Amino acid sequence: MVFDPAFAPRGREPFSEWFAKQVDWDMEHDYMNPQSTTPALREWYDGIRLEYPAMNGPDATDDDHEIDRAGDYNFGPHFIYVTYPWFLAEEIYDRVRAVAVEKQVGFYDVSNDEDEQEIYFPGDALAPPSQGSWRSIAKQYRELSEH
């Protein structure tokens, strides 16, 4: 997940509470519309979807060659929650973080199952890359997709 740091609290507990409210998925909000999030997050989205197109919403790709690299983007008022195919997990992890730093938005490592999930705010030092069990799952999917 990437988030607008102007709207997210610092501190693990306040951030976790904020995150839980964000992904409550209020059905009155259009989560498929990139215009429903902040300008900073739209910049991140515009940067990342050049390499990883959208599988849904108004920007959904109809190119059969791109669909394998497509992300499921969900736009909240102050965040973008996105999932990608498992076989891309290691590649996309590094790229999502890099574009978050470049575009000056926050990054939350939702998939990390280590002691603490990374919560990055612009200006902070990036944590060492996650070594969570998701990496072995991603490797298995990548090996399956190569056969």
**pLDDT over 90 at 120, yes or no:** yes
Span of 22-26, 53-57, 68-72 with lowest mean pLDDT: 22-26
Q: How confident is the model at residue 22 (pLDDT cuts 50, 70, 90)?
A: very high
Domain parsing of the chain, residue ranges: 2-146
pLDDT tens across 37-50, in order?
Answer: 999 999 999 999 99
Q: How far apart, in whole angstroms, are the C-alpha atoms of residue 65 and residue 57?
A: 18
First to last CA, the chain: 30
Mean pLDDT value of segment 98-114: 89
Provide the β-strand partners of residue 54.
60, 71
Location of structure tokens 């399956």: 144
- The pLDDT > 70 percentage for the chain reads 93
Query: What helix, strand, coil percent values describe the chain, rounded to 5?
Result: 40, 15, 50
Q: How confident is the model at residue 78 (pLDDT cuts 50, 70, 90)?
A: very high
Mean pLDDT value of segment 95-122: 89
Mean pLDDT value of segment 55-69: 91
Q: How confident is the model at residue 29 (pLDDT cuts 50, 70, 90)?
A: confident
Q: How confident is the model at residue 26 (pLDDT cuts 50, 70, 90)?
A: confident
69: left (phi over 0), alpha (psi -120 to 50) or beta: alpha
